Amino acid sequence: MIMRIFQVITHPGKEAEFAEFFHRTAIPMMRATKGVISVIPGTARSDSPRDFSLVMVWENLEALKAFVGEDYDSPHIDPSEEGLVQFRSIKHYDFVEV
């Protein structure tokens, strides 16, 4: 299994708009995506009001590539979030069950 951590920092003043997109579009879309086992969203806190994250556990690398393509190291973004996000990062790990 592959753990994919997607993190964003919104443009100043775009926090509420991104939060709406995050809850209404991004989280439901990822939960409904074939090959995704688990979705753990992280929303902004008062000490970091522009930071959001999404941790996804995928069945395998093939399932991830089927969703984002061969260039899976690049953050996959929805066109509606393009103007809301100042910075984005993506990291992958082998998932370890304990």
Residues comprising the chain, all counted: 98
Q: List, for residues 58-85, the tens digit of each pLDDT value.
A: 999 999 999 999 999 988 777 888 899 9
Six token digits for residue 29: 């879309």
Six token digits for residue 5: 């951590």
> Per-residue confidence of the chain (98 residues) as pLDDT tens digits?
999 999 999 999 999 999 999 999 999 999 999 999 999 999 989 999 999 999 999 999 999 999 999 999 988 777 888 899 999 999 999 989 87
Q: Which residue range forms the structural domain that includes residue 68?
A: 2-72+81-94
CATH number of the CATH domain containing 8: 3.30.70.100
What's the predicted TM-score (pTM) here? 0.89
- Number of other residues whose CB lies within 10 A of the CB of residue 7: 16
Total structural domains within the chain = 1
> Using CA of residue 87, residue 64, residue 35, residue 55, what is the dihedral sign?
negative
Q: What is the pLDDT of residue 34?
A: 97
